Amino acid sequence: MKSETVVASPAVVAGPNELLLRVTGARLLCEGIREVTLAAVDGTALPSFAPGSHLAITWAVGERNSYSLTGPMVEPRHYSISVRRDDAGRGGSAWVHAMDIDDVVVASRPRSAFAPVATARHHVLVAGGIGVTPIVSHVRAAVHWRRSFEVIYVHRPGADAHVDDLHALAGDRLTVLRSGSELLAHTRSRLSDAPLGSHLYTCGPQGLIEAVTSAAVAAGWPPRRVHSEPFASAAPATGAPFAARLGRSGALVPVGASTSLLEALLARGIAVPNLCRQGVCGECKLTVRGGAIDHRDAYLTEDERAAGEVMMPCVSRAAGDRVELEL
């Protein structure tokens, strides 16, 4: 019998920890946001995932973008992602918007750096714009586990992706708002009223996250109960050239002005795990032996940054002309 050859687009082969997925559905949720569903090419159930997980999809050789999973989480038959087209981006979102049914893609297994705290007494979930995507899976989990929660969702008129899903899941625990000022006023009031032991989760543009986080701090919330996930790093990975000294071999790896440290290491054949390449997922974390760091990620805590013992090479750089790595 002739076996079927599966060709991914772009022409890359799934690695041992990667998934080969076929596009089984696509629809426009609202202007500029497309939902795509993906199933295993062999039709089997897919790996389960924690709320707030994302897939990193390879959209060109050496190029991957991470997208939050919005569908059911336990051994699902398909994954769903919702992608806002960004014509000023590197091209990954436009590629997703051009996907056809039966296209085959390579993706990482689901990873989460934004999971809910199971012991939280109450979950306050705040979503801004396309930042609603990980919040949808948080809401699914909260409903499934009968956890106490509420959702606050702010979006521009017409850009209301997943609002129907949230209405169906959350009912009157959902508040939909149309402006940042409404969001802040409502969130402040909810943060004051939330029971002790509540946790706050926010996903959206960096400015929204900073405003909501500041409101939580002002209301006396301890940082350990405040969680956030920006959907892109606020800072570019490029900057002044520097060099990375590899502690084990003593080799010096130059990092050019328009190259990230991660790219420079990979180009030298040094294997560094990575997923989002946006300073968000935590996958590429490296131990630093010496040298000041210009931290640009959205993953490390303030204490980790201050200690200067680790860095995220996909976006962060040396603050001077050299950094020494435990590699």
Chosen residue from 150, 229, 283, 324 binding ligand FES by CB under 6 A: 283
Classify residue 246 by burial, with Cβ atoms within 10 Å: 0-12, 13-18, 19+.
middle
282 binds ligand FES (CB under 6 A): yes
Residue whose CB is less far from ligand FES, 57 or 281: 281
In the shown chain, the binding pattern of residues 220 to 259 toward ligand FES, with x for contact by CB under 6 A and - for none, equals ----------------------------------------
Residue whose CB is less far from ligand FES, 115 or 176: 115
Distances (CA, A) of 231 to 20, 65, 194: 24, 11, 26
Q: Are 28 and 22 in contact (CB under 8 A)?
A: no
208 binds ligand FES (CB under 6 A): no
Contacts of 52 (CB under 8 A, 6+ apart): 68, 112, 113, 114, 115, 116, 134, 137, 138, 201, 229
Q: Are 18 and 108 in contact (CB under 8 A)?
A: yes
Residue whose CB is less far from ligand FES, 191 or 286: 286
Least distance (Å) between residue 231 CB and ligand FES: 13
Chosen residue from 132, 265, 275, 323 binding ligand FES by CB under 6 A: 275
Nearest Cα residue to 96 out of 54, 37, 40, 36: 36
Least distance (Å) between residue 316 CB and ligand FES: 9
Q: Are 160 and 132 in contact (CB under 8 A)?
A: no
Cis peptide bond N-terminal to 10, omega within 30? yes
279 binds ligand FES (CB under 6 A): yes
Least distance (Å) between residue 310 CB and ligand FES: 11
Residue whose CB is less far from ligand FES, 131 or 313: 313
**Chain position carrying tokens 């032996």:** 289
The Cα–Cα gap between 36 and 42 comes to: 18
Chosen residue from 14, 314, 323, 327 binding ligand FES by CB under 6 A: 314
Contacts with ligand FES, residue ranges (CB under 6 A): 274-277, 279-284, 297, 299, 312, 314
